[in-house]
Structure 1
C-alpha cells in the first residue's frame, strides 16, 4: 500500500504533495498541543491542596498524557510545557502553528528559548516579533535557528537569553554523549588543576605496571586504567596472556559497584571464544594470520572464478540461503546492547557469571521481596511497566500489583514502577485512580480514570522472545477494603508548589545570565532590579504568575 499511495501522481505534482503533507503534519501537531493545553488548563490548579503533593496535579495530568501518547512521563511533561507556553505566552506564534506555517521543530525551540522571559509585556512584544519572522526559519540549521531566536530575545530582555557558553566555563564532569555507540561511553569535563595532575600520574603509574607484550595501545591502557579507578581498583591487569608475565601477580580487579548484564548462553559462548582467540601468543597469531586465512581466501577466490554470473544466479534460485550464526544478545541496564567484544572484556576483567534464578510457585512470606526475587522481576520487566514509560528497571521500585497483604509477594503479583508512577498508583489524586491487572505471563492491563485501557508487556519479551517468563497463577485476592482516611497523612508533600520551583529556577538562571553578561561587558554584576536598558516592561514582579512548568 505504501509504495502505491502516490503511484498515479505526476512527477511535477509530487513536490506539492510533500509541501501539503508537511503543512498538515504541523496542523495536526498544533491540534494535539492545543488539546494538551486545554486538558492541563482544566486539571492543574495551584489553589487545589493536591498541588502540594509529591505526585501533584501536574504529574497526574502528565501520566494521562503519557499513556495517551505512549511516551514517558518526562516527555509528556515537556509536551505540556510547550502546549501551555503556546496558549499563555506565544498566542501569535501558536496561531501560525495552527495554520501549518511553522514546523513542530521550530515551535519546540521557540518555547524553550523564551522560557526565561518573566515579564508579560516583554513576552508579548517577543511573540509579535517572532510571529513576523519565524515563518521563514524552517530551513535554518539548529545553530542558526537558536541564534535567530536569541537575537530577538536579546533586543528586549538580554537576561533571558540562555547563555550555555558561559556555564560551560565552570567546572563540570560529564559521562555519556548522544553520539555514543554501544561499545564505549564518552567522558569529559574540567577538574581542579591539582586533581588533574593526581589523576594523570595515577593513570601513568597503572599503565606502567603491565609488561611490554600487552596487546593494548597506550590510549587503550589509559582508558582501561580510568575504568579500573572508577571501579575502585589501583592496578591494571596485564593482557599478554603469558604465564611468565612479570605482572602476573597483579591483584584481580574488584568493585563494590554491581551492574547486572542479561546475556543469552550463545552470547557468553561467543565472548569466551573471543577471549580464547585474543589470548593466543604473538607467534601463534602471526603464524595463523600468515597461513590459514590466506589459504582460505585463495580457495574461495578459486571457487568464484570457476563460476559464471548466470550459474551463480541459478544456484541462488535453487539453494537455500545458509543461516547466519546467532551470537546471542547481551544487554546492559536500560536495554543498551553490549557487543560481544565488550562482554568479553568484562568477563576478562573479572565479571562473575551465574544463571538467573527462576522463582517457584510459592510466594514469599514477607512484604519486601528477597534480593533474588527482585532481581528476577527487574530482569523480566526491564522498564517501568506503566504505559509509555521507559525508566530502566534498575531505577524502579518493585511494587505489588494487588496491594500487600491482600496481594502476595510473588512474581505474578510484582512489577517494576518508576517512583512517579508508583506514587501515582499508591496515592491517587482523588478519583484519578489507575487500576491494574497482572497476568501470570507478566502482561498488565491498565484502566485509566476515564475507562480507557492500555496493555503493557515485559521488556524482556522484546529482546529475548524465547525466554518464558510466565510464573504460577495466583488465586483471586480477597475483598480489599477502601483506604483508611488517615492514610492521606502519609502522602509525600512538596516543600513548595511546582510553579514556585519553576519561578525560582527562572530567577536564578536570569541572575546567572546577568552576571555573565556583566563580566563580559566589564561592568559590576548587580542583580536586575527594574527595567533594563533595551527592554520594555516593569519590575521583576510577575514570577508568581508563571504557568506551573
Structure 2
C-alpha cells in the first residue's frame, strides 16, 4: 500500500517525470483508501444510531442519522443516504470488497457500482459467493469503463443468482425526469431523464413542430427554439411565440412563458433599464470573436447591473440580460417585501413568508439544496414561546424540519441577520447564512430582534411525555418498503428466467 513517501506539492517542481507518475498513482491509491476509512466510520455511526426504534416515524432513525452525516459533510440528504447505504453494503454484505476499498485497490465509485448491480441479491450464500468472486476479479477491472464493469458484474450475478439480474428492461420501471438546481450565471437549468420510447418520440415531434412554426426572422437557433418550446408546453401553450419583432408576423402571439413569471427584484433600478451588452444576447449563435480594436476610453465608474431573484417555482437567480428579456415579454415585477413586525398568528402572512423565502433561498440545514419555495417555514423558537417574526423564522425542508423538531439533541439559534447556528446531538455546531445575503452582500437582511412575551409558555422539554405524538407516521416501514421493491423486481425477472431455463420441446 502507498505509504505517503512521495513528494509533497511544494517539492513537485524538482521531481522527474517518472516520479510524478508514481506520485499520481500513489496519491490516487491513498485517496481511495481514505474514502474506505470514511465509509468505515459512516458504517459504524449508522450501526450505532440506526437501532430501528422508530420504524414508523416519517423521519425515522435512518433519516435522523443521515441528517447528522449530511451536516458534517455539508452534503444533501440524498447524498448522505447514498453514502450510508454504500457503507453498510461494504461492511456487512461484501466485507471482502470493503477490504479492497480500505486498501485503496478499488475506488468507492467502483464499490457503488457493485452495490447497485447486486441490490436484488438477498440469499446469504449467494452474497458470500459474489463477495469472494468479485474480490478475486476486482484487480482486473482497472481499465474497464463503467459500462464494461457493469457487464462484468451482471455476468457474475446472472451466473450465481439469475433472478437478481437488474435487466435493461427495468429502465422502464425507473423512468423519471430530473430538474437540476438553477444556474445563477446563465439563468438556465439542466434537465434530464428517461421516458417511454413512444412518449419520447411524440415529444420530439411536438418540439420540432413548434420550433419550425415561427418565421425565418426569429433570431434563435433551432436548438434554442426547441428548448423554449418545452417551456411553452409547461405553461400550457400550444405554440411558440416568434421573436422576430415584426408586427405583421402571425406567430407573435404570447406563449405564456414570460407572463406567467413573477420576479422579485433585489437590484438597483439600472438592472431593469440598462441594455444588455451586445455579447450577452440570449438568442442566436455565439458571437464571433471581434477584430482587435484600439484602446477604448475608461468606462464610467459604477457597479455592473446586478441580477434579481425569481420567486415562483424553484426560485433562483436571474442574470440581468434574461431579466430584461422577461420584463419586455410581460413578466410581472414586484419589490421584495420588508416586514419587520411580529404577527399575531402561527402561520406567517404571504408578505412575511415571501421575505423569509427570498432571504433564505434554500433549506437552511447545512448542505441541503432544496429550494426555499418547496420548504416549510419553521419557528426557531417554537410558537407561541417564539413570535412569528422574520428574525425567528427559517426555511427547512420537511425531512430536516421533522428531524430538528422531534429528535432530541437538535438545537438552533437565529441571529439578527438571519444566520442560523445549528447544534447536532453530538454537540457539533454549524453556521448557515441566508442564501440571499451571500449572493447580494448589499442587501441588508438584518431585522429588529423579535419581541419577547413573558406570558408565553416555555417550550416543552425534549423528554416530555407525548412530545413525539405529532410526528407523522409512515404507511410502510423502510425495511418493508425495501423488501417489497426487491420482491417485485425479482418477480418481474421470474418469467424471463423460467423461459430461459425451459427444456427444449421434443
Q: TM-score, normalised by structure 1?
A: 0.76
Among residues 496, 500, 503, which one is paired with 2:483 in the alignment? 503
Provide the residue aligned with 1:494 in structure 2: 474
Higher relative contact order (CA 8 A, sep 6+): 1
Within a 5 Å distance, the mapping from 1:131-170 to structure 2 comes to 131-163=135-167, 165-168=168-171
* Mapped contact 2:207–2:226 kept (Cα < 8 A): no
Provide the residue aligned with 1:32 in structure 2: 38
> Matches of 2:203 and 2:266 in 1, distance apart?
37
> Matches of 2:166 and 2:26 in 1, distance apart?
34
Matched, 1:45 2:51: yes
Provide the residue aligned with 1:443 in structure 2: 419
SS at match of 2:36: helix
Among residues 374, 392, 395, which one is paired with 1:416 in the alignment? 395
CA-CA distance at 1:23 after TM superposition: 2.3
> Matches of 1:81 and 1:95 in 2, distance apart?
17
> Matches of 2:207 and 2:16 in 1, distance apart?
68
CA-CA distance at 1:407 after TM superposition: 0.8
> Matches of 1:492 and 1:348 in 2, distance apart?
46
* Mapped contact 2:382–2:459 kept (Cα < 8 A): no
Matched, 1:107 2:122: no
Provide the residue aligned with 2:333 in structure 1: 353
* Mapped contact 2:187–2:317 kept (Cα < 8 A): yes
Provide the residue aligned with 1:390 in structure 2: 369
Higher Cα radius of gyration? 1
> Matches of 2:60 and 2:138 in 1, distance apart?
35
Provide the residue aligned with 1:68 in structure 2: 72
Give CA deviations for 1:390-442 in whole Å, capped at 9, x if unaligned: 222121111110011111111110001010010112222xxx32110001101
Q: 5+ unaligned residues in a row in structure 1: which ranges?
A: 280-288, 305-318, 525-549
Give CA deviations for 1:333-372 in whole Å, capped at 9, x if unaligned: 6676545554444334421112211223x11121111112
Matched, 1:366 2:370: no
> Matches of 1:474 and 1:517 in 2, distance apart?
66
> Matches of 2:179 and 2:128 in 1, distance apart?
38
* Mapped contact 1:171–1:191 kept (Cα < 8 A): no
Among residues 355, 358, 380, which one is paired with 1:379 in the alignment? 358
Q: What is the aligned residue count?
A: 485
RMSD: 4.1
Q: TM-score, normalised by structure 2?
A: 0.81
* Mapped contact 2:315–2:372 kept (Cα < 8 A): no
Structure 2 CA distance for partners of 1:335 and 1:198, relative to 1, 3 Å: closer
CA-CA distance at 1:92 after TM superposition: 0.8
* Mapped contact 2:121–2:164 kept (Cα < 8 A): yes
> Matches of 2:174 and 2:28 in 1, distance apart?
43
Matched, 1:402 2:381: yes
* Mapped contact 1:106–1:137 kept (Cα < 8 A): no
> Matches of 1:231 and 1:275 in 2, distance apart?
29
Within a 5 Å distance, the mapping from 1:35-434 to structure 2 comes to 35-46=41-52, 48=53, 50-163=54-167, 165-168=168-171, 174=177, 176=179, 183=188, 185-186=190-191, 190=195, 204=209, 208=213, 213-216=217-220, 220-221=224-225, 223-246=227-250, 250=253, 253=256, 264-265=267-268, 267-269=271-273, 300=294, 326-330=304-308, 338-340=318-320, 342-360=322-340, 362-428=341-407, 432-434=408-410
Provide the residue aligned with 1:527 in structure 2: none
Q: 5+ unaligned residues in a row in structure 2: which ranges?
A: 1-6
> Matches of 2:58 and 2:212 in 1, distance apart?
48
* Mapped contact 2:158–2:164 kept (Cα < 8 A): yes
Structure 2 CA distance for partners of 1:23 and 1:323, relative to 1, 3 Å: farther
Provide the residue aligned with 1:512 in structure 2: 492
